[in-house]
Amino acid sequence: MRLCLLTVLVALTCCHLGSGLRILGVFPLNGRSHWMMAERLMVALAERGHQVDVITHFPMKTPPPNYKEISLEGSLEAVQNNLDAKTANQFNQMNFDVMVDKAGVKVCDLLAHENIQRVIKNPPNDPPYDLVITEVFISPCYLAFSRHLKVPMAVIMTSSFLDWLEDVTGNPQNTAFMPNMFSAFAQPMSFSDRLLNTLLSKFFAYQLNSRMDIMSKHVKDYFGIDIPVRELHKDIALYLVNSHHSLNGIKPTNPNIVEVGGLHVTENGNPLSPEVKKWLDESTHGCIYVTFGSMVRIETFPKPLLDAFYTVFKKIAPVRVLMKIAKKEELPPGLPANVMVQPWFSQVTVLKHKNVKAFITHGGLMGFQEAVYFGVPLIGVPIFGDQHTNLKSAASMKIAVSLGSPSNVTVETLSYAIDKVLNDDEYRTNMKRISTLFKDRPMKPLDEAVYWIEYVARHGNVLQSPAIHLTWWQQNLLDVYAFLFVCVAAVLGVVVFVLRKLTRLLPGCKSCSKKDTKTSESKKRK
């Protein structure tokens, strides 16, 4: 009996694995926060029985079954815990050349890496790949994998939808109520907001798209495909976007754009160290968690800002503070006794703890979503990118107090923000309501992402908008409006012409009388 049961189980397993896909994941951007979403998705696909090969900078120590890593580790300068205050401020100034060079051109240069070249030149055929998954940001050269391997492509966006891709995706964009990713406007927008939002959207799209054209050369050199790089977006069957209407507002989207905001969030994170667990368990008056993400090092910020942190944290005792500091030795002396610093915390586990009452954050989307999921109000110090927009949106919902920028952090402003979040019940009540909206879905975002990936693997590009095959002037109906204008002008011209003719034939027409009088006078002179 046992032998029969074992045989059946083995047969079912073989059938399941046999029906699985072979998926190539391509993730050449070396940002840890970007990788969090990709890793969670790729591991889930492997756990579902698909064979997953992943190009990554962050290989696991013990990868799961069906999961093969193609390592890029060490090929780019590490950014984790390697961004000081000065460099972070440069990103805040929106230097497009620096942005495209670091996250675009240098990332595309990795196509020369021997491990990537091996995949390009000798892709497996036992079986071949069925689907490619990559991240779409500002290194579109990797979209060429779809055309090169002749398979459908799904992409992830680790932010809300990148509005500079609206035209190539055919997704409707209305700047009257859809804020630009970097505009920091909240819905609804005033007239001045709508004006600036429209100008900023066009400006950012032009600045980024014009600079990404150079990556067409990478596509030609490494894939042998001579095509403008933006044309490769037409090969994308599915966009998995890290957004949700509860946080990012209501926006129209095409069927191939699926919101899976919070996909990376898990109910159970890594366990806390005994020291941190004891600290949190004993924080009966509450604890504030402080981190500026995986890249920015708080200890490199100006001394006045750090002094403000010290003064306020000391003043709020017996409330305690957990603060992520990569290099404790670089902190100025005088750290208050109610503050614990560590180079790393299991963020999900910390935010889930019952004694954590507030989260001081830079407003990165991943941490923002985790705080919402576990219902922890925010105190925001945005630095660059979409952090300003995230925190302004959170402040408008009264689930956060945003200080605007690190330069605005003083003893007075930080004390006010902490007091509001800790002692004004409105913030915690609102956060619980938003958290409920964020989690109330027909299926978990990870399950939804897996479903749609399997769907496009089966059916290809059936969800694409037909608008991607139209030019910009066709999408905006300029040819239709021009035709209608010509038609109206022609009709008006005919009407005017006919009316002039008719007036000459009517009796008593003044113009006709004048003409007859002139004619008779002319005859008399003769």
For residues 275-298, give the mean pLDDT. Answer: 92
pLDDT in tens, 425-446: 999 999 999 999 999 999 999 9
Identity (one letter) of the amino acid at 111?
Answer: L
The lowest-confidence range among 80-94, 171-185, 302-316 is 80-94
The percent of residues above 70 in pLDDT, for the chain, comes to 89
pLDDT in tens, 17-59: 446 999 999 999 998 889 999 999 999 999 999 999 999 999 9
Phi, psi of 491 (to 5 degrees): -65, -45
pLDDT-derived band of residue 16, with 50, 70 and 90 as boundaries? very low
Give the residue from 421, 368, 383 showing the smallest Cα distance to 305.
383
pLDDT in tens, 453-464: 999 999 999 999
Phi, psi of 379 (to 5 degrees): -125, 115
| More confident site: 359 or 509 | 359
For residue 413, is pLDDT > 50? yes
| More confident site: 97 or 356 | 356
Distance separating alpha carbons of residues 510 and 23, to the nearest angstrom: 84
Q: What is the pLDDT of residue 512?
A: 52
Phi, psi of 74 (to 5 degrees): 85, -5
For residues 251-267, give the mean pLDDT. Answer: 93
Residue that is written with structure tokens 């941490």 in the block: 367
Q: Are 489 and 254 in contact (CB under 8 A)?
A: no
Q: Are 152 and 461 in contact (CB under 8 A)?
A: yes
- CB-based contacts of 56, cutoff 8 Å, min separation 6: 25, 27, 35, 38, 39, 69, 70, 71, 72
For residues 379-401, give the mean pLDDT. Answer: 91
DSSP H helices in 256-410: 274-281, 303-315, 347-352, 365-374, 387-396
pLDDT in tens, 462-489: 999 998 888 888 888 999 999 999 999 9
pLDDT in tens, 100-159: 998 999 999 999 999 999 999 999 998 999 999 999 999 999 999 999 999 999 999 999
Average pLDDT score, the chain: 89
For residues 214-237, give the mean pLDDT. Answer: 95
For residue 76, is pLDDT > 90? no
Q: What is the pLDDT of residue 60?
A: 92
Distance separating alpha carbons of residues 485 and 34, to the nearest angstrom: 48
pLDDT-derived band of residue 11, with 50, 70 and 90 as boundaries? very low
Q: What is the pLDDT of residue 84?
A: 67
Q: What is the pLDDT of residue 85?
A: 67
Q: What is the pLDDT of residue 2?
A: 42
Q: Which two tokens stand for residue 147?
A: 């055309």
Distance separating alpha carbons of residues 153 and 460, to the nearest angstrom: 8
Distance separating alpha carbons of residues 115 and 23, to the nearest angstrom: 16
For residue 509, is pLDDT > 70? no
